[in-house]
Amino acid sequence: MRERKKYITSTGMKEQGRSAYYKMLERVRKGELIQVRRGVYAEIDELSGNMIDIDSIIPGGILCLWSAWNIHQLTTSMPQAFHIAIKRDKKVVLPAFPKIEIHHYVESVLNIGVTNKEIDGFLIKLYDVERCVCDAVKFRNKIGMDVCSEIISIYLEMPDRNLSKLLDYARQLRVGKILEQYLQVKL
């Protein structure tokens, strides 16, 4: 239980014996453990870091939008919650802590640009830089034109940018023409 970056499950505690399970429940009552989702608990210190184990909380979840933009350093804004993309018809139960915002995508676009990255000891699924730029253009009216413009500008300054991949993603996500107009103005 003292291993870093490890969640505690009620099933695992039951396997260790009845007393271990009841000790875990007592720690929950005292506030030493926080219920992440049904049957999964974590120590407060584990949740105070910059990243959480997304797959334990929302299996198959992909870090997106503000959270992914922040990780890729595409924006100076800090996310107020973990933004997670899931399949449109998937139902999830969200924990009280940490704050998580769910974004539903159809399966045909959900896995475009998914990559894995280790952050704070967790292997996290998130969208790559080019997909993040396309999402900024797609949701420009919700996030604001200033944030969208900032993301595109920062992306264009990156030395390892891949414009052909960006335009390919943009066509698949149906924002190709809009993104091309932005690129004409910025380049």
The pLDDT tens digits of the residues spanning 117-150 come to 998 888 999 999 999 999 999 999 999 999 999 9
Q: What is the mean pLDDT of residues 76-85?
A: 90
- Residue 4's pLDDT band (cuts 50, 70, 90): very low
Both 34 and 58 in a single domain? Answer: no
The answer to whether residues 100 and 81 touch, using CB atoms and an 8 Å cutoff, is yes
The reported pTM is 0.76
Q: Which range is least confidently modeled, 34-43, 52-61, 78-87, 165-174?
A: 34-43
Both 30 and 63 in a single domain? Answer: no
Both 59 and 15 in a single domain? Answer: no
- Residue 181's pLDDT band (cuts 50, 70, 90): very high
How far, in Å, CA of 69 to CA of 63, rounded?
9
- Residue 187's pLDDT band (cuts 50, 70, 90): confident
- Residue 96's pLDDT band (cuts 50, 70, 90): confident
Q: What is the mean pLDDT of residues 21-48?
A: 80
H helix or E strand, kind and range, residue 43: strand 40-43
Question: Average per-residue pLDDT in the chain?
Answer: 89
* pLDDT number for residue 2: 38
- Domain assignment present for residue 1? The answer is no
- Domain assignment present for residue 34? The answer is yes
Both 85 and 174 in a single domain? Answer: yes
* pLDDT number for residue 33: 84
Percentage of the chain surpassing pLDDT 70? 93
Both 98 and 153 in a single domain? Answer: yes
Q: What is the mean pLDDT of residues 85-107?
A: 91
* pLDDT number for residue 41: 85
- Domain assignment present for residue 37? The answer is yes
Please give the DSSP secondary-structure letter assigned to residue 151. Answer: H
- Residue 44's pLDDT band (cuts 50, 70, 90): low
For 92, the token pair is 């999830």
Tokens 């260790």 belong to residue: 16
- Domain assignment present for residue 76? The answer is yes
Coil/strand/helix, residue 59: coil
Coil/strand/helix, residue 56: helix
Domain that holds residue 20: 8-47
H helix or E strand, kind and range, residue 12: helix 10-16
Both 141 and 64 in a single domain? Answer: yes
